[in-house]
Structure 1
Amino acid sequence: MTTPAHTDRPSSKQSWLARAAFAALVLAVVVLLIFAGLKTLTMLILGIGGVVVCVVAVYWFLTNRGFLRWISLAVAVLTPIVVLAFLVRERLLWVVLLSIGLFVIAGICARTALEGEEKELPVVERPAPPPVKPFFVMNPNSGGGKVEKFDLKRKAEERGATVALLEGPEKIDVTALARQAVADGADLLGVAGGDGTQGLVAAVAAEHDLPFLVVSAGTRNHFAADLGLDLDDPSRCLDALVDGVEVTVDLGNVGGRTFVNNASFGAYAEVVQSPEYRDAKTSTFLQKLPDLLAGRAGAVLTARSASLSAVGPQAVLVSNGPYEMNDLAGLGHRPRLDRGTLGIVAISVGSARQAVGLLHRAHQHGLAQGTGFEVIVDADTDEIPVGVDGEALVMRTPVRCTVSPQALRVRVPKDRPGVRRPRHAWDLVRLRELAKFTKSGA
């Protein structure tokens, strides 16, 4: 199979960056061969072996209890120390660090060169006049108290917003609160809180075709991060009220519930259902994971979409837009929120061998990925736990997940410090073409 020729002439900068990438790769290998010599092979074996041992040890730690669990933890901790001690004793640590540095430089140059190949249109930003009657739902407890820490209520009210705080011992119906605000004339709905609260209010905003504003006052802020919002200072998100633009994004739906990030099934969803989880997250995970991973507890799942069929996975993640999975540096990030498709990830790790297989992305045993407009998750039980944007729910099977393309209008500040450029996988064929490019077109 031949690679299609590129008709667009690359820039001189692209060509030199591609050449620099190959030069750094070659230099990294040369450094290893010259300064490590015959020990290069030993270093590679030790390094790869160390990673494999660590992965197996972590898997055993998660799937066992008692003495074997703590022996596995000790092995996972001691293995990198042994590798490091060997490099120090052989005076090769600086060689490894230098080679790693050159590989990093090669990666940066390659990515920068390939960024010039990006053909995807940028996210469309439309001018947006300031709202007249914005309404915000704010959770004072979210994110460790960011609403109070950054004085978000006062700052929003100074910009003309009405703010409802989710405080008090009684449970507040956020959806009803947002709908009442719309009935009272609100022309923008906003949230300073967790992703679960954002999903509820976003559903009402989409239902009434109103703009939605996110304030990054949650704990993890996945949706805010993928919108490029300031995660360090949530108050900057409020700038969108006076100097904002509008973008349109997709919304996911699982069993009739809207989500802005993802819906999870399997091990994670089972654990978060536990009453002990809220007060002791780590110990609850460690207590329940062995039985869940071994199949002794929890429902047996199946997941189907147009591009994926997984039987018996321990975990399934359906996301509102595919996550970037081909690059550890971008893991957990969605480059776009307007692709009009769901992302699906199914994990099946029934042995230490399959856990090691995840290192090289073994699709047959371990990790399966796909996309689709619809995902059906079924089980051998009538109901299954589902984590919807971090909220623990129970739904009847089969559970249907769908996407509503460009259903939500989102108001964001013009200046968003977290906007990221798309990441590119290493296309060595195209990189070589760029490196060979000359003015004559050779």
Structure 2
Amino acid sequence: MVSVRSRARLLAWAALLAGLAAVVVLVATTGRGGLLILLLGLCGLAGTAAGVWLVVAHRGAARWTGAVLALAALALVLVAYTVKGLWGEALAAVVLWGLAAVCARSALRTVRPPAGMRAVRHLPAKHPVLIMNPRSGGGKVGRFGLVEKAERLGARVLLLDTSAGGHTDVTELARGAVAGGADLLGVAGGDGTQALVAAVAAEHGLPFLVLPAGTRNHFAMDLGLDRADPSLTLDALTDGEELLVDLGTVSGRPFVNTVSFGVYAQIVQSPEYRDAKTSTALDALPDLLLGYSGAQLDARADDTRLTAPQALLVSNNPYAGAQPLGGGARRPRLDLGTLGVVSVRVANAAQAAQVAVLGSRAAGLTVTTARQVTVDAQAPTIPVGVDGEALNLPTPVTCAVRPGALRVVVPRRRPGVPAAPGGPLDWRRLLALALGSALPPSD
């Protein structure tokens, strides 16, 4: 049987050989073909980035021009490769380099797998109370029979009043449940509702159950829960385990995912945002990026000053990638006791292309972590998006994190959270692994 260390060494050698083969393909290409492959690829990437910038930062003819430019850049690269007879070599180089990257990451993760959140045994609650929003996620509570299934498992269910003119204070409802003897609080609703109930659970040291019955369920996703069928999370009531999870606060208000300022916060303020997020964002971005109409922000992440960011995203633990608007990325851990910070300031197509090519190393993008983030402006209040909800908060706005504040109960069997991308590959550590020597520390 192959040991873990031996398997990692084999993967490391496979990565090094595949990377070397990619270089050989480019060098061995007739004449200056190898250099031409690289230059064409970079030009195509720059053209695509410039086109995407025109799409998001302009309207009308400029936006259509950007879409055409992005597609044309890709098409011209493919045509040029074909005309010059470099298609086969270019494809081989890309495939080999992709194989090298996959093997390299697998090798380093095999020998030093990323640590996940520590789970401890959870004894079933005797008086669980679950708060449910019948309208959340387009009616998932009714569609998946959450009320009936929860009550069969011994839980008491409290439904939010969603009738015309009806209003339920979620926080008071949760506190009333605690006063009535609840020894577990759960919620089926959006991330904003989850944060309010989570704060009450943390205040009283009670276990907290998340039912992914919202629209996007980012918090549930990062907890490794099954978002396709929220009823499966109810298994945690009888066969669960606890995770100690951090809870974020913004000016005293709890949040479980993100707090956004600047461009994204103003987009969230739009009345149309909840029903048409993508189209609303695309329609608002030009005005906001080109001559941002809001108050100029001045932010500080611990000791790092972020001057006049156009968009600022603060997350309860860092995402596994620099996502200026927080879309598509995941947080591999929610127990690091730190905030993720992504600050964006892009003024033209060249800077947009730099962000596309260099990512977090681009001048227009700052990616860091902090225990506290303070955002100020020359205005009494500023728009803030808290877990997707539009608010206006008095300045300065302070974001902080409460490490291990939440005892989150999850089913023992759940899809899980994928390992985080490892960032730039450390070929020095990979070579050491292939040669069988001790791994040098990560930079």
Q: Return the TM-score normalized by structure 2.
A: 0.90
Alignment correspondent of 1:177: 173
Kept in 1: contact 2:26–2:93 (CA 8 A): yes
Are residue 262 (structure 1) and residue 250 (structure 2) matched?
no
Instruction: Answer yes or no: is 1:151 the counterpart of 2:150.
Output: no
Deviations 1:55-89 (A, max 9, x none): 11221222223322222222123322333344455
2:72 aligned residue (70, 78, 87)? 78
- Aligned partners of 1:324 and 1:331 also within 8 Å: no
**Structure 1: 5+ residue runs without aligned partners?**
1-8
For 2:432 and 2:297, the matched residues in 1 are separated by 45
Q: 1:303 aligns with which of 293, 299, 302?
A: 299
Separation in 2, partners of 1:83, 1:274: 39
| Match of residue 335, structure 1, among 332, 336, 348 | 332
Aligned to 1:44: 38
**Matching residue of 2:352:** 355
Match of residue 415, structure 2, among 414, 417, 427:
417
Deviation of 1:271 (Å): 1.4
Closer/same/farther in 2, CA of residues 187 and 362 from structure 1, 3 Å limit: closer
User: Per-residue deviation at 1:94?
Assistant: 4.9
Return the offset for 1:40. Answer: 2.9
- 241, 248, 251: which one aligns with 1:252: 248
Q: 1:361 to 1:40 in 2, by over 3 A?
A: same
Residue 324 (str. 1) matches residue 320 (str. 2) = yes
1:141 corresponding residue in structure 2: 135
8 Å contact kept, 1:307–1:371: no
How far off is 1:269 after superposition? 0.6
Unaligned runs of 5+ in 2: 439-443
User: Structure 2 CA distance, aligned partners of 1:409 and 1:362?
Assistant: 33
- Go from structure 1 to structure 2 and tell me whether the alpha carbon gap of 1:235 and 1:33 turns closer, same or farther (over 3 Å shift): farther
Task: Provide the C-alpha distance between the structure 2 equivalents of 1:64 and 1:246, rounded to a whole number of angstroms.
Answer: 48
CA apart distance, 1:91: 5.8
Per-residue CA deviations over 1:246-275 (Å, capped at 9, x if unaligned) read 110111000111001110001011111122
Q: In the alignment, what sits opposite 1:235? A: 231
Contact preservation (8 Å) 1:136, 1:192: yes
CA distance in structure 1 between the aligned counterparts of 2:315 and 2:33, rounded to whole angstroms: 45
Distance in 2 separating the partners of 1:232 and 1:95? 42
Q: Distance in 2 between matches of 1:123 and 1:66?
A: 47
Q: Percent identity?
A: 50
Q: Give the distance between the partners of 2:89 and 2:241, measured in 1 at CA.
A: 49
Shift in Å at residue 288 of structure 1? 2.4
Please, which of 182, 185, 207 is the counterpart of residue 211 of structure 1? 207
Partner residue, 2:286: 290
Determine if the alignment matches structure 1 residue 20 to structure 2 residue 19.
no
Shift of 1:178: 1.1
- Aligned equivalents of 1:55 and 1:184: distance in 2? 57
Equivalent residue, structure 1, for 2:123: 129
Q: How far is 1:345 from its partner?
A: 1.0
Distance 1:312 1:435, change over 3 A: same
Deviations 1:3-24 (A, max 9, x none): xxxxxx9822221111111111
AA of the residue aligned to 2:406: L
Measured in 2, the distance between the counterparts of 1:349 and 1:71 equals 20
Instruction: Report which stretch shifted further, 417-426 or 306-315.
Output: 417-426
Confirm whether residue 431 of structure 1 aligns to residue 430 of structure 2.
yes
Deviates more, 1:113-122 or 1:285-294: 113-122
Alignment CA distance shift 1:299-1:183 (3 Å): same
Partner of residue 4, structure 1? none
In the alignment, which residue of structure 2 is the partner of 1:5? none
Aligned match of 1:107 in 101, 112, 136?
Answer: 101
Task: Assess if the C-alpha contact under 8 Å between 2:323 and 2:329 holds in 1.
Answer: no
Which one-letter code corresponds to 1:366 in the other structure?
Answer: G
Query: Equivalent residue of 2:123, what SS?
Result: coil
Match of 1:430, SS state, is helix
Separation in 1, partners of 2:114, 2:73: 43
Root mean square deviation of aligned Cα = 2.6
Distance 1:326 1:109 in 2: 23
**Greater mean alpha carbon deviation, residues 183-192 or residues 241-250:** 183-192
Give the letter aligned to residue 388 of structure 2.
Answer: G
Instruction: Single out whichever of 330-339 and 127-136 deviates more from structure 2.
Output: 330-339
- The CA deviation at 1:320 is 0.7
C-alpha displacement of 1:232: 2.4
For 2:15 and 2:43, how far apart are their aligned partners in 1? 27
Shift in alpha-carbon separation, 1:364–1:105, aligned structure 2, 3 A? closer
SS for the counterpart of 1:303 is strand
Distance 1:280 1:337, change over 3 A: closer
Q: Structure 2: which amino acid aligns with 1:45?
A: L
Amino acid at match of 1:318: V
TM-score where L is the length of structure 1: 0.90
Sort the Cα spacing of 1:145 and 1:50 in 2 relative to 1 into closer, same or farther, 3 A.
farther
- Cα 1:14–1:394 change in 2 (3 A) is same
Match of 1:30 among 19, 24, 27: 24
Q: Aligned residue for 1:277?
A: 273
**Deviates most, 341-350 or 52-61:** 52-61
Cα separation, partners in 2 of 1:17 and 1:252, compared to 1, 3 Å: same
Q: Residue 252 of structure 1 contacts residue 320 of structure 1 at CA under 8 Å; is this kept in 2?
A: yes
Q: Secondary structure at the match of 1:239?
A: helix
Query: 3-state DSSP class of the match of 2:302?
Result: coil
Distance 2:377 2:61 in 1: 33
| 8 Å Cα contact 1:321-1:336 kept in structure 2 | yes
For the 8 Å contact 1:114–1:431, the answer to whether it is kept is yes
SS in structure 1 of the partner of residue 368 of structure 2? strand
